[in-house]
Amino acid sequence: MITLDQLNAATLTEASQMLDGVYEHSPWIAEAALAQRPFKSLAHLKHTMADTVRQADRAAQLALIRAHPQLAGKLAEQGQLTAESTHEQATAGLKACSPEELAALRRLNAEYLAKFGWPFIVAVRGPRGTGLTRPEIISTFARRLENHADFELAECLRNIHRIAEIRLNDKFGVEPVWGNQVWDCAELLARHSDVEGALTVTYLTPAHQACQVQLVRWMHDCGFDEVEVDAVGNVVGIYNGSDLQAPRLLTGSHFDTVRNGGKYDGRLGIFVPMVCVRELHRAGKRLPFGLEVIGFAEEEGQRYKATFLGSGAVIGRFDFSWLNQKDADGITMREAMFAAGRDPGQIDPLKRDPTQYMGFVEVHIEQGPVLNEIDMPLGVVTSINGSVRYLGEMVGVSCHAGTTPMDRRRDAAAGVAELLLYVEKRAAQVPHLVGTVGMLNVPGGSINVVPGRCQFSLDIRATTNEVRDAMAHDVLSELKRITDRRGLHCTLEETLRASAAPSAPEWQARWERAVESVGLPVYRMPSGAGHDAMKLDEVMPQAMLFVRGGNSGISHNPLETTTNDDAQLCVEAFMSVLEQLAESP
């Protein structure tokens, strides 16, 4: 085993030898990275080496990729792999492939090489470091074969960095224990789902209630002093401070999911502070203030047309008209709450007094590709984007597709398509502004009928309300021009308007110092997605920390993932925030 002090003190030749084999047959990466010594942490070293590759030209990146062997390829058969690759492929069980699996890998190797010109790279030890299964490797191989070449090259490099990260852990004798706990919690909680074969947990279903039971059990195990499921279904854990009268720190996120969602969206923000409390309790340590962790019961708006039920109740803004909404089976929210043992009459008392809290912090998976693309494990959120959403229907005239001349048509779908292209063009003109037409439907559409109706959605988000509203104004003006010119009529209903939630400067600064404390540079970014923090922002200061997601940052998807190492950094950063507050609240 080597230490960071040894690496920092060694000569370039000695240090290069220490890092030999981290990047397959590519000593230039270590040599270039070592020029930036001293390293403040292992995370700093990992980031520096990854950044060295990112700054290299394409030829050097391709050479790095091509230095890697094919999975279960000829070099493996001939015993000519490096010691590191031999160990990794053995960990994944690639030496024990069935004839069918070996045939599939050989076919995929050939197709992949023919398409891209380099070998398929995957970190076979996986996001937990314990090894992917052979079926997981083969399915990943087949999925990535469909990628665009530039995208796939970047994905290969990201997997190479993960391989290097695990090899560095081995060299330094490091095990991300806290990260493993977070990762394992995500896997275990994902066993509860409304459906078979996918992760779907919607408000107050049996799977949702099973998640409540599991979270309660874990909070007790971690050492929380008080644990309860409240009237709206939130799971609340309190770890008392040495001063019971001091304002608490509030944190948490949601544990419901979208349909066929991922394991980390929301839930990461519950597990990270839980692990922190577990460590504080293990060490017999009390902070000068209490820590309140809430697993919010609902944020996604999947079962009912209402979002942020959990955090809305906590800030005293639960809309009681929601209780009359019905789900797809005709069950009202009120009925669902009573069936689950919740009492709507006790929701009002859930309102927190903001003066009794220092503020709210939330850890969340990024749900986007930015951190992944720049090889940055953590990002500090500057603002949660404000949003406005509409549901619309364009109305024209249905008519025969063969007999109606192009200049006589009142095509509703074509009108919406024109609007969609305008939204795309207009949003691209301003940084951090996004516009999406995510739903398109031609009711009763037919291949030989000009569409007379087209239903659509419109979602506009920006870091400030002013930028959001300026685009909304321009889109609505363009919509009128389109309908006037095409002889169409459009109905448009605004279904949601949420204000932007800038991070409180002093709380953002704490996250920035926390990121620096783990040895990483600070990367600031807005949040394009809505989060529970934006509700808490209405009554108290808030700030968020993002962690990168794997698989190009995809979220609301079964492929959503993160690594145990990145989860470890989240816990370390959260611990740093707690320490900062303990020293000078």
Residue 468 lies in a domain: yes
- Other beta carbons within 10 angstroms of residue 79's beta carbon come to 7
Structure-block tokens of residue 164: 């290097």
Largest Cα separation within the chain, whole Å, is: 82
Note whether 142 and 191 are same-domain residues: no
CA gap 392, 355 in Å, rounded: 42
The separation between CA 445 and the C-alpha centre of its own chain, rounded to angstroms, equals 36
The Cβ-side half-sphere exposure at 388, using a 13 Å CA radius, reads 17
Note whether 48 and 90 are same-domain residues: yes
The CATH number of residue 228's host domain is: 3.40.630.10
Cβ contacts of 171 within 8 Å, gap of 6 or more? 1, 2, 18, 19, 22
Give bridge partners of residue 239 from the DSSP assignment.
291
DSSP, res 322: G
Name the nearest CA neighbour of 119 among 145, 101, 96, 80.
145
Residue 516 lies in a domain: no
Residue 461 lies in a domain: yes
Note whether 333 and 429 are same-domain residues: no
- Other beta carbons within 10 angstroms of residue 182's beta carbon come to 26
Residue 71 lies in a domain: yes
Q: Name the burial class of residue 447, with classes exposed (0-12), middle (13-18) and buried (19+) by CB atoms within 10 angstroms of its CB.
A: exposed
What is the full per-residue pLDDT of the chain (585 aa) written as tens digits? Answer: 999 999 999 999 999 999 999 999 999 999 999 999 999 999 999 999 999 999 999 999 999 999 998 887 655 555 656 777 777 777 777 778 899 999 999 999 999 999 999 999 999 999 999 999 999 999 999 999 999 999 999 999 999 999 999 999 999 999 999 999 999 999 999 999 999 999 999 999 999 999 999 999 999 999 999 999 999 999 999 999 999 999 999 999 999 999 999 999 999 999 999 999 999 999 999 999 999 999 999 999 999 988 899 999 999 999 999 999 999 999 999 999 999 999 999 999 999 999 999 999 999 999 999 999 999 999 999 999 999 999 999 999 999 999 999 999 999 999 999 999 999 999 999 999 999 999 999 999 999 999 999 999 999 999 999 999 999 999 999 999 999 999 999 999 998 888 999 999 999 999 999 999 999 999 999 999 889 999 999 999 999 999 999 999 999 999 999 999 999 999 999 999 999 999 985
The CATH number of residue 428's host domain is: 3.30.70.360
Note whether 186 and 167 are same-domain residues: no
Note whether 185 and 301 are same-domain residues: yes
Say if residues 309 and 322 touch (Cβ distance below 8 Å).
yes
Note whether 92 and 75 are same-domain residues: yes
Q: What's the helix, strand, coil split of the chain in %, to 5?
A: 45, 15, 40
Residue 547 lies in a domain: yes
pTM of the model: 0.92
| In the block, residue with structure tokens 């006589």 | 408
Structure-block tokens of residue 349: 């008392």
DSSP notation for 118-181:
S-----TTTTTSS---HHHHHHHHHHHTTS-HHHHHHHHHHHHHHHHHHHHHHHHT---HHHHH
Note whether 350 and 289 are same-domain residues: yes
How many structural domains are present in the chain? 3
Note whether 148 and 42 are same-domain residues: yes
The CATH number of residue 39's host domain is: 1.10.3330.10
Among 173, 202, 233, where does a domain finish? 173
Q: Sign of torsion, CA 326 327 333 334? A: positive
Note whether 121 and 77 are same-domain residues: yes
Cβ contacts of 443 within 8 Å, gap of 6 or more? 453, 455
Q: Sign of torsion, CA 533 537 540 543? A: positive
Give bridge partners of residue 332 from the DSSP assignment.
326
Name the nearest CA neighbour of 44 among 387, 572, 518.
518
Among 141, 173, 205, where does a domain finish? 173
CA gap 494, 488 in Å, rounded: 20
Tell me how far CA of residue 207 lies from CA of 193, 194, 196, 303, 331, in angstroms: 5, 6, 11, 13, 17
CA gap 463, 385 in Å, rounded: 4
Question: In the chain, what is the straight-line distance between the N-terminal and C-terminal CA atoms, in Å?
Answer: 39
The Cβ-side half-sphere exposure at 262, using a 13 Å CA radius, reads 23
Question: What range defines the domain where residue 396 resides?
Answer: 386-498
Check whether the bond before 38 is cis (ω within 30° of 0). Answer: yes
Residue 130 lies in a domain: yes
Residue 99 lies in a domain: yes
Among 145, 173, 201, where does a domain finish? 173
Note whether 150 and 196 are same-domain residues: no
Q: Name the burial class of residue 582, with classes exposed (0-12), middle (13-18) and buried (19+) by CB atoms within 10 angstroms of its CB.
A: middle
CA gap 552, 555 in Å, rounded: 9
How large is the C-alpha radius of gyration of the chain? Answer: 26
Residue 255 lies in a domain: yes
Structure-block tokens of residue 510: 């704490």
Cβ contacts of 150 within 8 Å, gap of 6 or more? none
Say if residues 24 and 85 touch (Cβ distance below 8 Å).
yes
CA gap 112, 119 in Å, rounded: 7
Collapsing DSSP states into helix, strand and coil, what is residue 320? helix
Note whether 97 and 141 are same-domain residues: yes
CA gap 20, 171 in Å, rounded: 10
Note whether 89 and 146 are same-domain residues: yes
